[in-house]
Amino acid sequence: MASESAKSRLASYNAALVKRLAPLRALPDGVLCDQSLSQVRVWVIKDATIISLFFLNPESGTLDGPMSRIDIERPLHLLAPYTRALLLTLLWRPSPCRVCVLGFGGGRISLVLHAHLSDIVIDNVDIDPAFATIASDYFGVTFDERQHLHIADALEYLQLSPHRYDIIIMDAFSDARDHLGHLATAEFYALCRERLRPGGVIGVNLLRSDPEFSTKVRTFHSAFRATVAAPLRHSVVVFGAGRLPAPITELSARARDLGQRYSFDAGLCDIAAMLCPLRMIDLW
């Protein structure tokens, strides 16, 4: 259970966050930002209190995503199930010192970790510097000595980084159109293993719509000694480590304890109850 001082600090953090986001309430619904970046075109769209980040598909003219979503009235609540699933990396490292998030976008997971874990340092990595402004202007992210954004390719960043991590979170692609296959190879996962501290874990979001989905799942399974997965409707969140943090039947109860310890505004138990060995995932 979170201490009274931790609850007070979190309440203050949330109040300041809501205040930063308050100007967005007065804006009309619709497109708030239309920006062409180096690799994608980004739209930020407001619908009532929900702000969403989309990529515009150049082939179809349709929107891919949302890549990030926030309710400006409840900003520390993670709306997307896969983002809540990625918080389950904390089952392996409940008190992480340093976390690496590959694929920043609107910074939703990073914002929640920064808010709830007061001693954590987060190294975010994204290829385009524009996401620093997008995450700040529309998703309430602030950068400080605990929240960093490195502009780099994820592979190159890990190759050059002097740090080792308790947790690596990977959400740096939507599907095969992104040409980021180099971030789903045996060599890349070997590099991730090198960058993890003993007992560390990597969590990766893999989209079922990716034509290479089954290949990526098998590659991930072969790269780590212990692998489990949370099968969701549109994606599978996979976890790789040297071992499981507990028997798989106990993980839901541990997720409940995590939620109480950090006062997350998100249920983790339901997703933890889905966890199963990765080899059991249906690769349709």
Render pLDDT for 243-272 as a digit per residue (tens, 0 to 9): 999 999 999 999 999 999 999 998 899 999
Do 200 and 165 meet the contact criterion of CB atoms below 8 Å apart?
A: yes
Do 252 and 273 meet the contact criterion of CB atoms below 8 Å apart?
A: yes
Could you tell me whether strands 30-36 and 41-47 are parallel, antiparallel, or unpaired per DSSP bridges?
antiparallel
The reply to whether the predicted model has a pTM over 0.85 is yes
DSSP H or E segment with residue 84: helix 81-86
Render pLDDT for 41-99 as a digit per residue (tens, 0 to 9): 899 999 999 999 998 877 777 888 889 999 999 999 999 999 999 999 999 999 999 99
Do 263 and 2 meet the contact criterion of CB atoms below 8 Å apart?
A: yes
Specify the pLDDT at position 40: 80
Interior/surface letters 48-71, b for 16+ CB within 10 angstroms, e for the rest: eeebbbbbbeeeeeebbbbbbbbb
In the numeric block, the tokens 């009532």 are attached to: 48
